[in-house]
Amino acid sequence: MPIFLLAFVMTFLAVPVWAADIVSTRFALLTDRYDHCVLGDCIEYGAVEAVLDDGRILSYRLDENSVFEDVEPRLVPMGLNGRKAILVVRSYQNKGAALALLDQRGGKLVIAAESEPIGLRYRWQNPIGVGDFDRDRKLEIATVITPHIGGRLTLYERQGNKLVEDVQTQSFSNHKMGSSQLDLHEVIDWNKDGIMDIVVPDMSRGELQVLSFVGAKTQVIDKRSFSGTIGGPIVASETGLLVGLEDGNQESWPYPH
């Protein structure tokens, strides 16, 4: 093989144009070192794992100063080049819960971006999901900060290794204190304008509101009261939302279109 061709092939091999993708993720390393106990028990997690499509398993382990105060890690399209990354709630012993985004770097799983923690021990948040909610062509992460005490629905935008607050609105709750059910919300294009909207209970969890953030303006575009307190899960079916109530019943809310 001519030397220039050999050099070209070696360069090509040295810089892979593809990398393994994350196909699933899970928490590991049970721990009781943060006894907040609002997610059904007093056990949280000390590590998260990523299973790659080439069979490798990458792991990221926290030190004693924080835990993953969460039920299941989420795969979201916020990694390099739109690939999958992992979104989790990371709670610090003295500063409460932050959002953390984990991604692959050089064959390792690392924290690629993180928000500021709430600032107080035993303050938690429940992430809703990811979308371009304000139509600026960048993805935001939606979360309800302190859903038990005046929940602030907040959109975070990624800026380098930081998750920065973009939009914030009061008062919503997508969690019942002490429950392991976190699915009290839905990301869906409710009014069919091509932009994802957020469905989330009000602070009493007796009503669902549909919020649009187009142009960074927060608007309630629909709402509905239910016969009991919303306890989840909230599931999107073909014809509408199926809403679980705390009394065990389920009510449906048909889509407007």
Task: List residues near Ca ion by CB under 5 A.
Answer: 132, 134, 136, 138, 140, 189, 191, 193, 195, 197
The answer to whether the beta carbons of residues 147 and 175 sit under 8 Å apart is yes
The nearest distance, CB 86 to Ca ion, in angstroms, is 20
Could you tell me which of 179, 76, 189, 196 has the C-alpha nearest to residue 127?
76
The nearest distance, CB 186 to Ca ion, in angstroms, is 12
**Closer of 71 and 139 to Ca ion (Cβ):** 139
The nearest distance, CB 137 to Ca ion, in angstroms, is 6
* E strand intervals along 32-185: 44-52, 57-61, 66-68, 74-76, 85-92, 96-105, 108-114, 125-131, 140-145, 152-159, 162-169
**Closer of 159 and 229 to Ca ion (Cβ):** 159
The nearest distance, CB 208 to Ca ion, in angstroms, is 15
**Closer of 114 and 132 to Ca ion (Cβ):** 132
Separation between Cα atoms, residue 161 and residue 142, nearest integer Å: 17
The answer to whether the beta carbons of residues 78 and 158 sit under 8 Å apart is yes
Could you tell me which of 225, 194, 193 has the C-alpha nearest to residue 209?
225
Separation between Cα atoms, residue 156 and residue 131, nearest integer Å: 11
Sign of the dihedral defined by the CA atoms of residues 162, 212, 75, 33, in that order:
positive
**Closer of 79 and 96 to Ca ion (Cβ):** 79
The nearest distance, CB 210 to Ca ion, in angstroms, is 8
> In this structure, what token pair is assigned to residue 47?
């590590």
The nearest distance, CB 212 to Ca ion, in angstroms, is 6
**Closer of 132 and 246 to Ca ion (Cβ):** 132
**Closer of 48 and 101 to Ca ion (Cβ):** 101
Separation between Cα atoms, residue 76 and residue 141, nearest integer Å: 9
